[in-house]
Every structure is written in C-alpha cells, then in structure tokens.
Amino acid sequence: MAGHVEAQVYLGNYSQALKDNLPMSFFWYKQAALQGSYDGQYFLALAYRYGEGTDKNEEQAFYWMSKAANQNDDFAQYQLANMYLQGIGTKVDASKAIELLKQSAQQGHELAQLKLGNLYADGSVTPKNESLAVFWLNKCAEQHNRVAQKNLAWMYFRGKGVDRDIPHAIKLFLSSLS
C-alpha cells in the first residue's frame, strides 16, 4: 500500500501510544517500512522484537532493524548492536556490535557512547582500552548523562585511562547527583 510514509509512521505511533490497537500500529509501521522508511523499519523491528501487534519474531526484528541501521539511523544502529551482543535474531557477533556502536556513538547517540565507554572499560566484549573508555564516557557525560558522569568520575578517581585527578572526580561525582 503506497502512501505518505511519515503519516504512516505517525499513525503507527499514535496507535502504539494509546495501546488501543497494536495490530493497527503494526500495520502502519509495516506500510512505511515496505516503502523504505527507516522510522517505519525501526518501529516494525521493535514490534516484532517485543510481539506488539504481531507475534514475537526475533529473526524479523533483526531483519528490519538491519534495514533501518543500513540507512544510518543511530537508534537502529544502537538497537542492532544490542541484538548482536545478545544474539537476538542472529548469532552473537561482538565485533559487528562494536562497529555499530561506534557508528551510532559518532552520531551523538548517548546510550551508544555510554555502552562503548563501559565495554572498553571492562574489556568483557572488546579488548580493554581505558583511554577509549574515557573518551566515550566523556562524550556521553557532556550530554549530562549521570551514569557516564559517575563512571567517568571513577576513572579519574582511580587514574584509569587518565591521570589521577581527585578534584575532577569529585566534580563529576557531584554532577552525577544533580
């Protein structure tokens, strides 16, 4: 069904927000997605992932999230990275997840910056790199993210990836509380 894709996405969002007709929301997202709308593809992927308005289908969620991410949508790149990290609709692929997180973070996506900073700090998914951890946590903290401010404060307090700086750590700790 051809039509105005932005209107189709809005109709989907309206139905989703009211929770009164999730199948109708799914219908409109699918119409927009089939016409190439990255917003439609993103929301359709979420509907499949969580089974809202349709049966839960992780493979379809992965397919549509990939389509949206391939259009350089930072939210879709972040979600797709998490799908790769958790093996949702695909096999776990940490290197692909990191690549997608970087793409999203470079566009200013706050949660992608936070996740990258934390992953580089703990080395659980990618080799530990405290300098990159500080870089990404700082980017996120600049957006007033309290978790990033707290995690960055600990990096300064312990001298991990930066010179130890207790006054700056305290300033960041205090910022994270306000």
- Domain of 149: which CATH number? 1.25.40.10
Per residue in 24-76, pLDDT tens? 888 888 999 999 999 999 999 999 999 999 999 999 999 999 999 999 999 99
What's the total number of domains in the chain?
1
Q: Provide the residue range defining the domain that includes 173.
A: 112-178
Q: Are 166 and 158 in contact (CB under 8 A)?
A: no
Contact 156, 130 (CB under 8 A): no
**Cα–Cα distance measured from residue 140 to residue 1, given in angstroms and rounded to the nearest whole number:** 41
In a domain, 1, yes or no: no
Q: Considering the domain boundaries, does residue 95 fall inside one?
A: no
Phi then psi for 129, rounded to 5 degrees? -145, 95
For the stretch 2-24, pLDDT in tens is 667 676 776 666 666 656 688 88
Asked whether residue 65 is domain-assigned, the answer is no
pLDDT-derived band at 82 (thresholds 50, 70, 90) equals very high
Question: Does 67 reside within a domain?
Answer: no
Answer whether 0.85 is exceeded by the pTM: yes
Question: Taking CA 23 as the corner, what is the angle to CA 18 and CA 26, rounded to the nearest 5 degrees?
Answer: 90
